[in-house]
Amino acid sequence: MMATSTSGIYKIHCSADDRTYIGRSVHIERRWIEHRRNLRAGVHRNSFMQAAWNLHGESSFSFEVLEIVDASQLQQREQFLLNALFADGRPFNLRRDACGGADHTPDQLEKMSSRRKELNAEMWEKRRESGWKMSEEAKAQLSSKAAGKKQSDSSREKRSESMKKNLESRGGQWNKGKRLSDSDKKKKSESLKAYWRAKKLEKSGDNHS
C-alpha cells in the first residue's frame, strides 16, 4: 500500500508569539517531517522560526493544511496567502515572493537581523537559567563546522591581536595556573623580570621622546 501524499499549502504557527510560516509542497506530510526534524536538530534554515522553537519549545508549534491544491496551482495559491500574511499577520517567512526572490528593503533586513539577535539572546538567557548544557553531539557538529570554515584576513588579525593581549596580560606566558618544576619556575621568573624590564625601558623611552 502506497503512503498518501497531499499537495497543497500548509502553515506552521507558533502560539507563543503568534507568528506563522506558510509553505507549499506536493507532499505536505513529508515536508512537515523535514521541518520538524531540522527544528529539533537546531539546523533549520529559517533562523526566525528556529530561534522561536529554541525559545518557546516544540509544544508552542502547530501544523495545519490550509488548502489542498493541484501541483500546477501551488505557486499561485501560496503567493495569494503570503500576500495576506504579510499584510495582516506576523510572518516567519523571510520572503514574501513565492518564487523565492527577496524583496526586503535594507531597513526591513536590519529590523529582521535585530529581532533575530534578540530572540537568540533570550534563548541563551533561558538556557543559562535552566542549567542547560550543550550535548556532546552538538559540540562535535560545531567543532566540525568550525574546522572547515576559512577565516578572513580581518578575522585572523582580530584573533591574533586578542591572543597577543591575552598573552601580555599573563606576563608573556601561556601556562598560567599550570604546575611547574623548580627549574621551570626559575626560568619563568627570569623571563618575567626581563619582560617587565623591557616594558619599563619602553615606557621610559616614550616619556622622553
Q: In what order do the strands lie in the sheet with 61-68?
A: 19-25, 8-14, 61-68
Q: How many CB atoms lie within 10 A of CB 94?
A: 16
Long-range CB pairs of 168-176 (<8 Å, 24+ gap) are 171/195, 171/196
Hey, which CATH number is domain 8-129, 3.40.1440.10, 3.90.1530.10, 1.10.600.10, 3.30.1310.10? 3.40.1440.10
Which residues in the chain come in under a pLDDT of 70?
1-3, 99-113, 115-116, 120, 127, 132-156, 158-159, 162-180, 199, 202-209
Q: What SS3 class is residue 195? A: helix
Contacts of 119 (CB under 8 A, 6+ apart): 48, 51, 52, 55
Closest CA to 21 of 38, 43, 46: 46
Q: How many CB atoms lie within 10 A of CB 137?
A: 9
118 with 112: CB under 8 angstroms? no
pTM for the predicted model, two decimal places: 0.48
Domain ranges for the chain, please list them: 8-129, 168-173+182-209
State the pairing for strand pair 8-14/61-68.
antiparallel
